Structure 1
């Protein structure tokens, strides 16, 4: 196609194509059997992680549609506010946003997890749910099930890739899936679409510093230490850098509010593929210096091209804490 996308761009393109195709039923579903029938409940709730991103929402919608086509009464939900990028994707695809999952979902309800598998990133009473399926591209966390479940994890760019592989139209990697599905997606100019998509994603006007810090944010446990790690991906890093002091104050508030050992927040420059991580204090300063072998100047560390939370940010932190329990 003559297009050169960064690893971030392919992730977004794939997400929107998958949501359009699976929800509209354009892909023939004669896939691998996932489950013969739901056991004992009228509805299975399909949802992604807290502070949902586009992959989380797209995969929940697409997987719910796939399960329904197999006779399972599945419904997509989300656990937090949608960001502007996801709203743009849904509007473009003419797909309605899922409902918010009720906090009082009964114990024993059957649920399907997509794009996450750790309790700290899910509903508060996940331990009381009956997890029947889990589709994810992150590391294995503390997932447990009360009975055998259909579980599929793969180290790919996004959960939507795994979902596309489960369907009949499957290719070997993220780029091939995008190329294969583009003709039936209705998107004729991928580069133009990506430009508009990033413009929507980068629009942070009207958001509070709390909303920015917690917009793409997850809780991790390292050697029994509770850490919060968040990122903001944008075309306009200076907009966030100009709010650096306010963002640092918000990080300190969240650290106290959620009783965290530490909190980290990265400003991801999409165009230049650069990660500038804000350092609120200690022990963050010590940990980041050692884990990433970088200097911290004026409460900020340049992590270079470390852009992926799951592949390039969390693993070095895990290595550090395993060596320094």
Structure 2
């Protein structure tokens, strides 16, 4: 039975492309694996898959009794059902180490870079394995997405070097043009439900025993969300009622390089504690805040202590 190479719940482009790339790399090292995902591709990811002729991974909701390789996460809150009886064989990630534990020694590559696909680019090089042209294109897009075209504070020189290498393999002459094409697709809201928009990039966290959901929508111009903002507020309130202490939704303007934070919480003062900004209503502008991983989650973890 093949092992799953599996990204996090509500997969983004990095999660899905990481599963595809890692499965290719592991298979060429002689391992029996298949890429998998915990959900269908979001519009940006679908654009990337079609652009480079890649196939979306199979959707998996339960991994009971299976061997799994995790990509782009190591938190139980982002894992599928059945993790208590699954065997974690490896982790490739760029986030802090989560609370998933293993019964056996494992291969772990966890680097402080802007994207899991940056780590995978270096893994291909380490093992002396050539990156296929189509997969290189997908990996390139994942890095551009996760680093917000290098505007995010999570960006590192390693990410830039990986993009340069991947662009040469994929035959992409202008990565910024490609990046803007991706973000235009990512900015589209027509026809999407409020639930789909909130869950395009949404993760749950355990913060001092409280379940906290944090989502992010990245757009090229915040005005594109004016017509759906009230609906988004109603949706995060509905999601909070499903056993969460708080739900926060970042509406990130990649050109203005900041985010409007929508929130619903049992204790709204945590927003002021986290960012040092006065509150008036249920939204606040956070200038320069682009990264959930580096600028939002750590601040809230401190505020919840």
Q: TM above 0.5, one fold?
A: yes
Aligned to 1:94: 53
- Structure 2: gaps of 5 or more residues: 129-155
Question: How do residues 6-85 of structure 1 correspond to structure 2 at under 5 angstroms?
Answer: 42-85=1-44
- Whether contact under 8 Å (2:252, 2:290) holds in the other structure is yes
Give the corresponding residue for 1:290: 273
Residue 141 (structure 1) shift:
1.4
Q: CA deviation at 1:178?
A: 1.2
2:256 corresponds to which of 247, 272, 278: 272
How far residue 281 of structure 1 moved from its aligned partner, in angstroms, is: 4.7
**How far apart, in 1, do the equivalents of 2:265 and 2:3 lie?**
43
Post-superposition Cα deviations, 1:266-287, rounded to whole Å, max 9, x if no partner, equal: 100011111100122541x210
Q: Does the aligned pair in 2 maintain the 1:281–1:299 contact within 8 Å? A: no
CA distance in 1: counterparts of 2:206 and 2:43, whole angstroms: 29
* Residues 309-324 of structure 1 aligned to structure 2 (within 5 Å): 309-322=292-305
What do the CA deviations read for 1:117-156 (whole angstroms, capped 9, x no partner)? 0111010221211000011111111120011111121110
Structure 2 counterpart of 1:188:
173
TM-score by length of 1: 0.82
- Compute the displacement of 1:66 (Å): 0.3
Q: CA deviation at 1:197?
A: 1.1
Deviates more, 1:154-163 or 1:313-322: 313-322
Q: How big is each residue's C-alpha offset from its partner over 1:43-84, in whole Å with a ceiling of 9 and x where there is no partner?
A: 110010011000001110000000100111110011012111
Instruction: Tell whether the 8 Å contact from 1:119 to 1:127 is kept in structure 2 after alignment.
Output: no
CA distance in 2, matches of 1:128, 1:309: 30
Tell me the TM-score normalised to structure 2 length.
Answer: 0.87
Do the aligned partners of residues 242 and 294 (structure 1) sit closer, same or farther apart at CA in structure 2, a change above 3 Å counting?
Answer: farther
Partner residue, 2:220:
235
Task: Decide whether the 8 Å contact of 1:265 with 1:278 is kept in 2.
Answer: yes
Which deviates further from its counterpart, 180-189 or 302-311? 180-189
**How far apart are residue 244 of structure 1 and its match?**
2.2
Contact 1:47/1:76 (8 A) holds in 2: yes
1:233-280 deviation per Cα after TM superposition (whole angstroms, max 9, x unaligned): 0113223233222211111111112x0011111100011111100122
Q: 2:275, 2:40 → 1: CA distance?
A: 32
Aligned to 2:111: 154
